[in-house]
Every structure is written in structure tokens, then in C-alpha cells.
Amino acid sequence: MEGRSAEPVRTGERGIDPAHLLELVLPLARTLAAEAGVDELTTVVVGAAGFATLGDALRAELPDALTEALDVRTVALAADAVTAYIGALGPRPGAVLAAGTGLIAIGTDLTTWRRADGWGHLLGDCGGGAWIGRAGLEAALRAYDGRAGGSVPLLERARERFGQPPELPGLIYPRPDRAALLASFAPDVAACAPHDPVATGILRAAARHMAESVAAACPASGMPEVACTGGLLNLAEPLLTFLHEELTRQIPHARQTVAEGDPLHGCVRLAVALASGNAVWPEDPHLLHVNGAHKRPT
């Protein structure tokens, strides 16, 4: 069963706001438990975007608050990249690329975690949706100016979506959802790629950046598996072909496989494993933080 809130959790000076998260999540949890006929909850898993860098307040307050509110014995707080990994590969060593508006790769040999990128659209997320959209808009503006590297097809698409090019800075820079707005242009880049070498080049560069992050996060020895998740994969060809080629070139010792599930599936997997005492994933204060009766020995 699944419930949703249309309101995003607030962030502030202390990072992700634990009180607001509880305000949104607790009613959903109680309603879903009642609908499922569950009388007792034992384990809670929270997978949060930004947990690694914005999760100090969550770590300080959520375990006790959830234990008291839901009478559970175990609370696990995880970065959404970790739940994406667990959903995709389960208990096997390897690396997972989570590519949407942003981009992060995370890997483990089941003793430690290693992450790469995920620094946000201003400092990183190279190859993600916002990165592709921004590169496409730059190419459009180059064509508008008459500079080298411009794309007339992307300029036409930018006009259709956003209006006249001189209006773009005022439209994009002040927006609090700037990353999402940039990412909204990524499908236009993909649509132009079959007949526009500039757009094709953007997707090829994005695939190279993606593979670089996966290679940095992937275990260097053994037989790790690699899977890719996230809405950016819906751009399909030629991005997926470029990505497969780059992964094969950069990490030839890894086996590419299809993700078994999504981050929500990963939360469920982690909860079941913790409740049964079978969790094998390494704990890390910034990536997977477990409190309670079923805490894995470290």
C-alpha cells in the first residue's frame, strides 16, 4: 500500500525539518497501517533526499520522535541513494546510479559505502536532468547569439517552452525550483538528438559523466553489479546506448544489470531485513543510521 503527500518537506538552517516531516508522514503511516489491518509496527525506515548533507536534525530528533509516536523498536534513517541501492541490487556488492533532476552514484562492498557526486545542480549532479537541460539551453543561447556550439533546433524548442531568449535569466535564476525547471528541458534535448549533433553531443557527455560517477563509487575488485535507476532513464535512446558504452569502457569488471526495484522498494527491503535481523548493509552516520533493538553490530 502507498500514500502520498503533495507537499515537499521543508529545509532550513538546520537542514531537513524533522517536525515538518513528522507532520506529513505520521498521518499517512497511521492511515496505511489501519487500512492494512496492522495493529503493531516494529520498524520504520525513512529514505530522505539530502540526508547525507542536510540530515543532522533528522538524526538528532527523528529516532526518538518516531519511536514515541508509532511505538516502534527500530528506526532507520537512510539517504535516498541508499534506499535506491537496496531496491536495485539488494544484498549484493556493486554500484547504483540514481539519475533524475539530480544525479548521484553510490556503491558498496558490503563493508563501507562510497558515494560520488550528488552535490546539487550548482556544484555537480553532472549528467543529471538539470545538467542536460542547462547544457541544452546554453546551446540554444549560443545559437541566438551566433556563437560557436549553438543549436538552432534547441533554440526553437527553448522558444516554444520558455518564450524569447532574453527572458530566460529572469525566468530561471529567481526560481526556488530552478533545478526542476532546467531539467524540464532535458526531454527537448533528447527529442532533438536524432537530427541535431549538438544535442547528441550533450547526451554523450552526460553519459560520460554518469559513468564517471558510477566508476568512482563501484568496488574496484571482485564481481560487482551495476544498475541504473531514476526518471532520467525515460529519455531512452540514444542516452541509454551511450551510457551502456561508457559503463563498459570505464568499469569493464562490473556486470550491468536491471534494477530490481525503486527506492521505495528499497525502504521495504531494509525494513524487512532489520525486523528479521538479516540486514547486511553497512551503517554510516551520514548514509544509513540505525537506532533500536535490531541495530546491526558494528
- Grid cell, residue 25, equals 508522514
Q: Which of 36-45, 240-249, 268-277 has the lowest mean pLDDT?
A: 36-45
pTM, entire model = 0.86
b/e 35-62 (16+ beta carbons within 10 angstroms → b)? eeeeeebbbbbbbbbbbbebbebbbebb
Give yes or no for residue 297 having a pLDDT over 60: no
Q: Do the beta carbons of residue 88 and residue 96 sit within 8 Å?
A: yes
Confidence at residue 216, expressed as pLDDT on a 0 to 100 scale: 96
How far apart, in whole angstroms, are the C-alpha atoms of residue 32 and residue 89? 27
Query: What pLDDT, in 10s, does the model give residues 261-271?
Result: 988 889 989 98
How far apart, in whole angstroms, are the C-alpha atoms of residue 182 and residue 160? 15
Query: With bands split at pLDDT 50, 70 and 90, how would you rate the model's confidence at 154?
Result: very high
b/e 89-126 (16+ beta carbons within 10 angstroms → b)? bbebbbbbbbbbbbbbbbbbbeeebbbbbbeebeebbb
Query: With bands split at pLDDT 50, 70 and 90, how would you rate the model's confidence at 298?
Result: very low
How far apart, in whole angstroms, are the C-alpha atoms of residue 284 and residue 288? 5
Q: Do the beta carbons of residue 85 and residue 46 sit within 8 Å?
A: no
Query: With bands split at pLDDT 50, 70 and 90, how would you rate the model's confidence at 67?
Result: confident
Confidence at residue 293, expressed as pLDDT on a 0 to 100 scale: 57
Give yes or no for residue 200 having a pLDDT over 80: yes
Q: Among 196, 230, 183, which Cα is nearest to 88's? A: 230
Query: What pLDDT, in 10s, does the model give residues 92-114?
Result: 999 999 999 999 999 999 999 99
Q: Phi and psi (nearest 5°) for 43?
A: -140, 135
Domains of the chain and any CATH numbers: 11-90+261-292 (no CATH), 94-256 (3.30.420.40)
